[in-house]
A and B are shown apart, each in its own frame.
Chain A
Amino acid sequence: MLVAQLSDPHIVARGAIFRAPVAGPPPADERVSTEIDTAAHLASAVAALNALDPRPDAAVVTGDLCDHGERAEYENLHELLAPLQMPVFLIPGNHDSRDGMRALFGHAGYLPATGFLQYAIEDFPLRIIALDTLITGQHGGELCAERLRWLDETLAAAPDRPTLVLMHHPPFATGIEYMDGHGFRNPEALAAVIAQHPQVERIACGHLHRSIDRRFAGTVAGTAPSTAHQIRLDLRPGVRLHFRFEPPGYQLHLWEAGGLVTHTAVLGDFPHPYPYVADG
């Protein structure tokens, strides 16, 4: 089974352009580019997934689907995702609105009608459990007692089924200090639950607009690149957050008998393919 993960597309209303929130003049030595056509980037990603052979069995988008959580943005997102030739499952990020997601994607049948947007997908060899780390009005994330209890009970219901857990905020500090300041608030409580359920093969996250991973509570937690703009890898304490137009990307999670293998891939046209013979 093959699951494609896209993340952080930050879609705005049709015809609008994503603008990075630069709230004041940057220092004189910093160039400023604040406009990004996030819809075009997502359309390219959708086309790339459709062109994959073998085609992924499912796609997931791990949050920050839209930039302001507005209805017109979800309408645009809905149109952009419509060409996907595989089922797609969405989770909210800190830029999203639960009601906005429900209004446009409720008909797909996998989102709960009320409350947190947590759900399990049971249709595939790899079980998918989606978590909702949104705290309305804030950029950090959490899983409150109610959400953690749901996770614990849902995992306990199928202890022998290999499982991929989705959540927008990674449950670890990355070293990119500004983002860690808007990170996940209660990683220890999540770790205590995950450690009880060894069938969790991976926790697939977004939020960081980069590929980062670590060992977490007996499994792996990792973040996927954004389909649009990437965050600069800068581990200096106190440094400002910057984005950088490294190639956007996605991840392919390949479930086979031997376990889950995660490939990180780039989007874009690069010269290829050139054949070689490994033992030539």
Chain B
Amino acid sequence: MLVAQITDTHILAAGELYHSPRRAIPADTEPGWSFIDTAACLARAIRELNALKPRPDIVIITGDLTDHGGGGEYANLRSILAAAEMPVFVIPGNHDSREALRATFAEDGYLPANGFLNYTVEDFALRIVALDTNVPGHHHGELCAERLEWLDRVLAARPSQPTLLAMHHPPFPTGIEHMDVHALHNPAAFAAIVRRHRQIERILCGHLHRTIDHRFAGTIAGTCPSTAHQLVLNVTPGAPAEFTFEPPGYQLHFWRDRIGLVSHTAVFGNWPGPYPFHAPPG
């Protein structure tokens, strides 16, 4: 089974461009890079995922689907995702709105009708457990007692089924300080549950707009690049929040019986190649 992960798509209403808050942009910043066509970035991502051979069985988008959680933004997101030739599962990030997200994707049938947007996907060789770390009005993430109890219960229900957890906020500090202050608030309580359920092959996260991974509670937790803008890698305390136009990317989580889960990080875009490396056998 092949799971494609994309994240932090930050879609706006049709025709609008993502831009950093104006007051943060110095006068000498090249204006062309202050605006990002996040919708075009996502459309390209979907096009490239559709073209992959083998084609991924599903796509998971790990939050910050839209930039402000508005209805017009979700309508635009929905229309872009309609091009995907495989099932798409979404979870909320700190920029999302639980109810607008639910209303937009309700007809797909996997989201609960009310409450937190936690759910499981049981149709594949790898079980998906999706977590809602959203705290309305805040950028940090939380898994309250209710969400943690739900997680513990659903994991206990299928202890021998290899499982991916998906959550927007990574449960570990990354060293990028301006993002770590908007981290998941109670990682220790979450870690205690993860440690009890050894079938968790990986915890798929977003939020950081970079590739970062960490040994966590007996498994791996990792973040995926954004489909649009990346964050500058700067682990200096007090470093400013800055983005960079390094190539956007995705991850491919490849599950095989007896071999297990292997995660590949890949970039979008056209790059020179492919060039053959060896002659074909014989």
A263 proximity list for chain B (CB < 8 A): 174-175, 210-212, 233, 235
B247 proximity list for chain A (CB < 8 A): 246-247, 266, 270
Whether B278 lies near A215 (C-beta < 8 A) is no
The DSSP consensus for interface residues of chain A is loop
A169 proximity list for chain B (CB < 8 A): none
Whether A242 lies near B263 (C-beta < 8 A) is no
Report if A31 contacts B (CB, 8 A).
yes
Q: At the interface with chain B, which of A105-113, A126-134, A172-180?
A: A172-180
What residue in chain B is nearest A170 (Cβ atoms)?
B262
A33 proximity list for chain B (CB < 8 A): 272-273, 275
A246 proximity list for chain B (CB < 8 A): 247, 267, 271
Whether A273 lies near B211 (C-beta < 8 A) is no
Report if B236 contacts A (CB, 8 A).
yes
Whether B215 lies near A212 (C-beta < 8 A) is no
Q: How large is the interface on A (under 10, 10 to 19, 20 to 34, 35 or more residues)?
A: 35 or more
Give complex CA distance A273, B23 in Å.
Answer: 16
How close is A188's CB to chain B, nearest CB, in angstroms?
12
Give complex CA distance A146, B220 in Å.
Answer: 30
Whether A272 lies near B233 (C-beta < 8 A) is no
Report if B139 contacts A (CB, 8 A).
yes
Q: At the interface with chain A, which of B25-33, B80-88, B125-133?
A: B25-33
How close is A146's CB to chain B, nearest CB, in angstroms?
28
Give complex CA distance A256, B23 in Å.
Answer: 34
Give complex CA distance A247, B270 in Å.
Answer: 11
Give complex CA distance A268, B126 in Å.
Answer: 36
Q: How large is the interface on B (under 10, 10 to 19, 20 to 34, 35 or more residues)?
A: 35 or more
B242 proximity list for chain A (CB < 8 A): 272-276
Whether A242 lies near B277 (C-beta < 8 A) is yes
Q: In chain A between 231 and 255, which residues have their CB closer than 8 angstroms to a CB of chain B?
A: 231-236, 240-247, 252, 254
Against A, the Cβ 8 Å flags (1 = close, 0 = not) of B218-259 are: 111010000001001111100011111111000010101001
B173 proximity list for chain A (CB < 8 A): 256, 258, 261
Against B, the Cβ 8 Å flags (1 = close, 0 = not) of A262-280 are: 1111100011111111111
Whether B273 lies near A260 (C-beta < 8 A) is no
B179 proximity list for chain A (CB < 8 A): 278
Whether B235 lies near A278 (C-beta < 8 A) is no
Give complex CA distance A143, B46 in Å.
Answer: 42
How close is B119's CB to chain A, nearest CB, in angstroms?
24
19 contacts between A and B (CB under 8 A): A54-B235, A213-B262, A214-B220, A214-B260, A215-B202, A222-B213, A241-B278, A242-B277, A243-B273, A244-B271, A247-B247, A262-B213, A265-B233, A272-B243, A272-B244, A273-B232, A276-B24, A277-B21, A278-B139
